[in-house]
């Protein structure tokens, strides 16, 4: 007989009618036509579910013990808005949720994700190798165009002029800095902890003949304040999520130390409505040590470092679409990825991309760009960049 605990547990967090198929039995939860069927080849563990909903379901999916008969994103989109009902035993998950924020450990955590291999990321990112939210100006925009749009949108907000200096904290593979140098004639410096990104960006700087305008450093953000460097503008895209709660002030302090008076800083990051320790499955398998700041906790810190907030913009729905594009690309190369990385890894990454897209769509997480100035800047245009 099918486990009634499992039926009740899943029925509590899934607000639509669905079916569970296990051991040759099919049980319907809810009234009306089922939206999808959960197929179990192994019964879910009660203790695991009560410790962490996301870990128990995520690991079962990775191992192929749980599957669904409908597109994974569509299924997750139906109930990811109910994540507040997920169970999380914080004491049992302490080592996963609360990791060390020291330099050595944070470098290890960053490299565990970004140094999987450039060849892997090239399979499903676009040609710009932008691993952050795109900006879809029209329904017809390709993923590549959306990433170009996003970069242009950021650079326009920074009001760049030829000869200005620009720092990119967490520069990735360097597309933003390359565009800034080529389009605006700025001198740029990128810092990253990823050796794979550092090597590729260094090589492309040489190949494009940009050595007189661009440089990339393997550098921790905490080393900025004693670097002696000064910049007219700073940008940071998708990096503060790796800093960790408790270090946001340190991050802002280091940015302030290298920004000239009146200089602009654009912070682009995944945000949350409320402060939260993070999802156990994501932190164990995808982003060890990752922490999503709320919008209000970052805004609240800015005055302490003489930063004046000029503009705040949400791109939440743009990230939903970006992730769905990435997932389509990923699954176009699924056979190749599975052959190289294994079935469990492939199912894990498909789940990551689908789940993130669903959480953005349901407003569990957001994406904000905050434009700020160091001290008062009265020289900027009075009208907002569209």
Element (H, E) at 89: none
- Would you list the DSSP string of 294-354? BHHHHHHHGGGGTEEEEEEEE-HHHHHHHHHHHHHHHHHTHHHHHHHH-HHHHHHHHHHHH
How far apart are the C-alpha atoms of 312 and 72, rounded to whole Å?
32
Tell me how far the alpha carbon of residue 166 is from its chain's centroid.
23
CB count within 10 Å of CB 147 equals 26
> What is the 3-state secondary structure of 52-79?
EHHHHHHHHHHCCCEEECCCHHHHHHHH
Q: Sheet harboring 259-272: ordered strands across? A: 214-218, 187-192, 165-169, 231-237, 259-272, 365-374, 307-314
Q: Which residues contact 120 (CB under 8 A, 6 or more apart)?
A: 337, 340, 341
Q: Which residues contact 24 (CB under 8 A, 6 or more apart)?
A: none
* CA-closest candidate to residue 205, choices 221, 216, 194: 216
Tell me how far the alpha carbon of residue 59 is from its chain's centroid.
21
Q: Which residues contact 334 (CB under 8 A, 6 or more apart)?
A: 346, 350
Which pair of structure tokens corresponds to residue 380? 């900027």
Task: Based on the residue annotation, tell me whether 133 is a catalytic residue of this protein.
Answer: no
How far apart are the C-alpha atoms of 12 and 79, rounded to whole Å?
10
Query: Which residues are bridge partners to 236 per DSSP?
Result: 267
How far apart are the C-alpha atoms of 346 and 39, rounded to whole Å?
19
Active-site residue (options: 133, 171, 325, 356): 356
How far apart are the C-alpha atoms of 145 and 126, rounded to whole Å?
9
3-class DSSP state for residue 242?
A: helix
Are the CB atoms for 1 and 20 separated by under 8 Å? no
* CA-closest candidate to residue 232, choices 268, 265, 276: 265
Active-site positions read 356
């Amino acid at each position: 007989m099918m486990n009634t605990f499992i039926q009740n547990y899943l029925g509590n967090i899934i607000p639509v009618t669905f079916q569970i198929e296990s051991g040759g039995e099919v049980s319907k939860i809810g009234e009306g036509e089922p939206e999808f069927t959960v197929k179990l080849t192994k019964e879910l563990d009660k203790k695991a579910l009560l410790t962490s909903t996301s870990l128990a379901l995520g690991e079962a999916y990775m191992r192929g013990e749980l599957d669904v008969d409908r597109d994974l994103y569509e299924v997750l989109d139906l109930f990811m808005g109910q994540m507040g009902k997920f169970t999380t035993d914080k004491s049992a998950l302490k080592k996963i949720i609360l990791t060390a924020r020291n330099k050595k450990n944070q470098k290890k955590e960053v490299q565990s994700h970004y140094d999987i291999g450039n060849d892997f990321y090239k399979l499903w990112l676009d040609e710009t190798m932008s691993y952050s939210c795109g900006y879809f100006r029209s329904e017809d925009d390709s993923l590549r165009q959306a990433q170009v749009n996003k970069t242009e949108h950021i650079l326009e907000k920074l009001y760049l002029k030829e000869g200005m200096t620009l720092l990119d904290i967490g520069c990735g593979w360097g597309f933003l800095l390359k565009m800034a140098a080529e389009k605006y004639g700025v001198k740029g410096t990128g810092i990253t902890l990823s050796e794979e990104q550092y090597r590729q960006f260094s090589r492309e700087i040489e190949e494009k003949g940009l050595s007189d305008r661009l440089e990339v450093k393997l550098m921790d953000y905490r080393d900025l304040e004693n670097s002696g460097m000064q910049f007219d503008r700073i940008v940071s895209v998708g990096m503060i999520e790796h800093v960790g709660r408790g270090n946001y002030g340190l991050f802002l302090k280091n940015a302030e130390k290298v920004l000239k008076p009146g200089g602009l800083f654009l912070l682009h990051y995944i945000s949350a409505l409320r402060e939260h320790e993070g999802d156990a499955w994501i932190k164990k398998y995808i982003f060890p040590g990752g922490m999503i700041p709320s919008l209000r906790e970052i805004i609240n810190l800015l005055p302490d470092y003489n930063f004046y907030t000029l503009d705040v913009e949400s791109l939440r729905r743009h990230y939903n679409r970006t992730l769905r594009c990435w997932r389509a690309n990923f699954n176009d190369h699924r056979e190749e990825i599975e052959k190289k990385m294994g079935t469990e890894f492939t199912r894990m990454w498909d789940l990551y991309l689908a789940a993130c897209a669903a959480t953005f769509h349901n407003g569990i997480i957001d994406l904000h760009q905050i434009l700020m100035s160091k001290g008062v800047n009265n020289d900027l245009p009075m009208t907002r960049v569209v």
